[in-house]
Amino acid sequence: MFKNVFGSGFLVRTAHVVLTWVVTLILFLHDTELRKQEETGQLVQPVLFVLLVLVSVLLYFTVSLMDPGFILSDDPDLQSGGVGGAAGHDRPRVQIPASAPLWSLSAADVCLCSEQQPMRSKHCQTCHHCVRRYDHHCPWIENCVGEQNHRWFVVYLAVQLLVLVWALHITWTGLVLVPGLSPWLRSNGVLLVVLVLLVLLALVVLLLLGSHLYLVSLNTTTWEFMSRHRISYLKHCGAEQNPFDRGTLLNLWGFFCVWGSVVWEQVYFREGSDPV
């Protein structure tokens, strides 16, 4: 379920953890409201902030080390010829209408790990695995974002954004007014660097969180959104047509609250709908 913590992404994960705790330490060492509360014995906010930072680090390692939904070559459903086999080996067989045109595996779809590739999966050239409901490969977590860890990736982004906004507020309270530009820069230099870093990271995380929530509400992935013109089962659809869209509320419910694999072929060829 989880990958080796000392794998290829060890340096990236180490940099993330070190940067996180160095910034947290700076906020405690400088004359911020966090330090003032600690010195006066008001420990509620300092403890909550540290716990929130710890939760964000744990979520980071969860999405970074978790199996995103790799398809293994020994998947029983793939070996037996079932379309869209599941990691849990209990997915129902897919009954595709005889009149429905089957999609062909193009260069954008082809999986090098198995002869049959479940719908919405993609072979990642970085991980060298095919990933179920592939979204994208994230270099910051050094892992793919797919069926099994996508919801945790979105939760991590939400918690990380909360940490960054809170840290921005704490950093701002530590800035002191000193006459003259040079003395002011000397007095606030470290906190200014932290402030700029936090602003940049917060903007990136905000954009990522907003884009992922938008795509989730449509029941589409980053890969499908960016490359639908090259994906065999989508390129024949209209520009606004998404065969997996079940409405915003059902899409969000299915993403956050429904566990287990979905046979996307059944959704694609759902009964009563015209074959795409």
Task: Tell me the backbone φ, ψ of residue 16, rounded to 5 degrees.
Answer: -65, -50
Judge contact between 156 and 63, C-beta under 8 A.
yes
**CB count in 10 Å sphere of residue 27:** 24
Beta bridge partners of 144: 137
Q: How far apart are the first and last CA of the chain?
A: 35
In tens, the pLDDT along 110-130 reads 555 555 678 899 999 888 889
Statement: residue 66 has pLDDT above 90: yes
Task: Tell me the backbone φ, ψ of residue 144, rounded to 5 degrees.
Answer: -80, 155
The SS3 assignment for 180 reads coil
Write the DSSP assignment of 58-69 as a string of letters.
HHHHHHHHB---
Domain ranges across the chain: 10-67+148-191
Q: Worst-scoring range by mean pLDDT, 26-30, 158-162, 201-205?
A: 26-30
pTM: 0.82
Cα dist from 261 to 72, 88, 114, 120, 151, whole Å: 15, 8, 18, 12, 13
Say which amino acid occupies 222. T
The predicted pLDDT at position 52 comes to 97
Q: Is 138 a catalytic residue?
A: yes
Residues 6+ apart with CB under 8 A from 190: 26, 30
Beta bridge partners of 131: 70, 122
- Could you tell me if residue 41 is left (phi over 0), alpha (psi between -120 and 50 degrees) or otherwise beta? left
**Pairwise CA distance, residues 86 & 203, whole Å:** 37
In tens, the pLDDT along 70-82 reads 987 655 444 444 4
Judge contact between 113 and 72, C-beta under 8 A.
yes
- Mean pLDDT calculated for residue range 226-248: 85
pLDDT, mean over the chain:
82
The predicted pLDDT at position 240 comes to 76
Please, which pLDDT band fits residue 218 given cuts at 50, 70 and 90? very high
Judge contact between 93 and 267, C-beta under 8 A.
no
Catalytic residue among 130, 138, 144, 237: 138
The predicted pLDDT at position 258 comes to 87
For the chain, percent of residues with pLDDT exceeding 70: 79
